[in-house]
Amino acid sequence: MEPPHATVLQIQAPGEEDSELPSRLDQIPGSKHHRYWWLRVSLYILLLLAGQSAATLLGRLYYDKGGNSKWMATLVQSAGFPILIPLLCFFPPTEPPPAAAHGWLYLFFGLLLTGDNMMYSYGLLYLPVSTYSLLCASQLAFNAVFSYYLNSQKFTALIFNSVVVLTVSASLLAVHSDSDPSTNVSGGKYIIGFLCTLGASATYSLYLSLVQLSFAKIIKKETFRAVMEMQIYPSFVATCLCAVGLFAGGEWRGLKREMEEYEEGRVSYVMTLVWTAVTWQISSVGLLGLIFEASSLFSNVISALALPAVPILAALFFHDKMDGVKVIAMMLAVWGSLSYVYQHYLDESKPENRLNM
Question: If the chain, 357 residues long, is cut into consecutive pieces of 10 residues, what is the mean pLDDT of each piece?
Answer: 38 40 42 65 88 90 91 94 88 71 90 94 86 78 81 77 76 60 70 92 88 82 78 93 94 93 93 94 83 70 70 75 77 79 72 50
Report if residue 117 sits inside a domain.
Answer: yes
Cα dist. 250→45, 123, 130, 244, 246 in Å? 39, 21, 31, 10, 6
Report if residue 178 sits inside a domain.
Answer: yes
Number of domains in the chain: 1
CB atoms within 10 A of CB 305: 16
Cα dist. 327→60, 221, 330 in Å? 20, 43, 5
Report if residue 10 sits inside a domain.
Answer: no
State if pTM tops 0.85.
Answer: no
Report if residue 24 sits inside a domain.
Answer: no
Report if residue 194 sits inside a domain.
Answer: yes
Report if residue 110 sits inside a domain.
Answer: yes
Contacts of 175 (CB under 8 A, 6+ apart): none
pLDDT of residue 353: 52
Q: Which of 137, 146, 138 is nearest to 7 (CA)?
A: 146
pLDDT of residue 262: 93
Half-sphere exposure of 341 (CA within 13 A, CB side): 12
pLDDT of residue 243: 95
pLDDT of residue 246: 94
pLDDT of residue 315: 76
Contacts of 213 (CB under 8 A, 6+ apart): 9, 150, 151
Phi, psi of 263 (to 5 degrees): -60, -35
pLDDT of residue 209: 84
Distance CA 84, CA 333 (A): 32
Distance CA 312, CA 120 (A): 20
Report if residue 224 sits inside a domain.
Answer: yes
Domain ranges, residue 235 = 30-355
pLDDT of residue 113: 93
Residues in the chain: 357
Contact 27, 37 (CB under 8 A): yes
pLDDT of residue 276: 95
Report if residue 16 sits inside a domain.
Answer: no
pLDDT of residue 3: 39
pLDDT of residue 8: 37
Contact 173, 326 (CB under 8 A): yes
